[in-house]
Structure formats: C-alpha cells, structure tokens
A and B are shown apart, each in its own frame.
Chain A
C-alpha cells in the first residue's frame, strides 16, 4: 500500500461547480497536511495547510482532515476556469530528528467556462 494515494483524474467540471479532491494515507504519524496547486510549467503553490482534524476555510477553498479515517479533502466552491491546474496533496511529520514529506501524484482539474 502506498503511503499517500491520490486519484490522478483527470477531473472536468463546469464553471461554478463544487469540486472535491481527495487523498488517503496509511501512516498515522503524519501531522501536517497541505494542498498545493500547480499550473503547467510552474512550481507548486501552497493553497492550504493544517495540522489537525476538522475543516479549515480560506475563501472558496476548504481543507478537511479526518485523521481517524486517514483521509483529507480539498473543496473548491464556485469553481472558476482559473482554478484549472493540478492539485497535489502532501503530508509530513517530524519525529526523533527525522522528517518525512510525501506528495500525492496530483489530480488534474479542468474547469470549463
């Protein structure tokens, strides 16, 4: 079983739709959970990060973490064509002097006008 699983998509939605992006993980040691957005030929841009179970909202974006189910989600409300990008989940932990960061493979999203 891979440490982080992310459906690669591609996902295509009409403008204004609610988008749900998800990742599952197997290592309960992960403490920090992040979502990045990557446009073509650009570096990933940090969208959201959280370190606890529950929801965190920022504008049209909501990050959700369920540690008991080892499941994280990113919701995009009122999606726009400019949201078309690849979305990467990432998670990390630091323990006993060692640190580990793992990325999902990314989900390619297209929002159609």
Chain B
C-alpha cells in the first residue's frame, strides 16, 4: 500500500506558541490530502481538505486562521496550529487518497501546556 509519513509523532509546546506538523506521501503524488483530529476514545473528525496549489477547504466549525494548511507540493502538506492553547491538545492525523482508498500517517500527539 501507499506510504504516508507524518512528523513529528508527538510534540509538547507552551501555550501561545505555534506548532507545525508535516505530512508526506513517500511513493506517490497526492494532489489532495486530508487532516483529521481525534480525541481520546472518539472517531476521526475531518478538519480540512488540503489541495495542492490552492487554498484548503475547511469543515464547518474549524477555524482556518487557527489551523493553517499549506500544500506546496504534490508530496507535502503541512498543518500549523497557531497560538496553541490547551484545548488544542489532541491527536492529529493526515491522510492521502489513492483512487478511492485513504492511507493515513502515523499521527501526531499534540500536548499544549
């Protein structure tokens, strides 16, 4: 299957700082990538769809100024959590689609102190 690499796997930061998470497709090109958020014992919640060369599409209720997404190339999408606060602490997962199948990164656990 296709490989999606996500980095870092965990990050701890102070409140008010910004954190960048990278998502790379290693063996294929992904014009579209997806960012999910997952709270403990809950299912995946789609945050936004990242489109190469254009603006991301955000789901309802997701602050686009808070969660900045950049999809600068066919193999890299980044999610920046700006001015992070403790309530932003969560598990963030990226994914990319090959035909109609989603392949996921390993996730990033963000803890904001």
Interface residues of A (CB under 8 A from B): 31-32, 34, 36, 41-46, 49, 51, 88, 90, 92-94, 99, 101, 103-106, 108
Contact = CB atoms under 8 A, between A and B. Distances in A.
A51 B95 CA distance: 20
A101 B96 CA distance: 12
Contacts of B101: 32, 34, 46, 49
B11 interface: no
B100 interface: yes
Interface in B69-113: 91, 93, 95, 100-107, 109
B94 to A, nearest CB: 8
A101 B44 CA distance: 12
Interface of B: 1, 4, 6, 41-44, 91, 93, 95, 100-107, 109
Given A88-B43, A103-B43, A104-B43, A46 B103 contact: yes
Contacts of A49: 101
B102 A34 contact: yes
Given A41-B91, A41-B107, A46 B43 contact: no
A43 B105 contact: yes
B57 to A, nearest CB: 12
A49 B109 CA distance: 27
A103 B37 CA distance: 13
B58 to A, nearest CB: 16
Given A31-B100, A49-B101, A94-B100, A44 B43 contact: no
